[in-house]
Amino acid sequence: MPILVIGKHNADKYAKQFLEILAWFNNWKKCVQSLPGTYGENKHLFIPGPTFDALQSVCCGFASAIYFLCKTKNRRLTLCRINQDVNEHHFGNVRTAAGSHNNPNQRECMAAVATSCVVRLLRMEKGNCSTLLGCVASLRRY
Query: Is it the case that residue 16 has pLDDT exceeding 70?
Result: yes
Least confident of 13-22, 41-50, 60-69, 106-115: 106-115
**What is the distance between the alpha carbons of residues 14 and 1, in angstroms, rounded to a whole number?**
18
**What is the distance between the alpha carbons of residues 22 and 52, in angstroms, rounded to a whole number?**
9
CB–CB of 19/63 below 8 Å? yes
Query: Is it the case that residue 100 has pLDDT exceeding 50?
Result: yes
Band the pLDDT of 125: cuts 50, 70, 90. Answer: very low
Q: Which residue has the higher pLDDT, 32 or 141?
A: 32
**What is the distance between the alpha carbons of residues 32 and 55, in angstroms, rounded to a whole number?**
17
Query: Is it the case that residue 129 has pLDDT exceeding 70?
Result: no
CA distances from residue 29 to 7, 40, 55, 82, 130 in whole angstroms, order as listed? 32, 12, 13, 28, 47
User: Which residue ranges make up each domain of the chain?
Assistant: 5-81, 84-139
Q: Which residue has the higher pLDDT, 74 or 134?
A: 74
CB–CB of 60/22 below 8 Å? yes
Give the N- to C-terminal CA distance of the chain in Å, as an integer: 43
What's the pTM value of the predicted model, to 2 decimals?
0.55
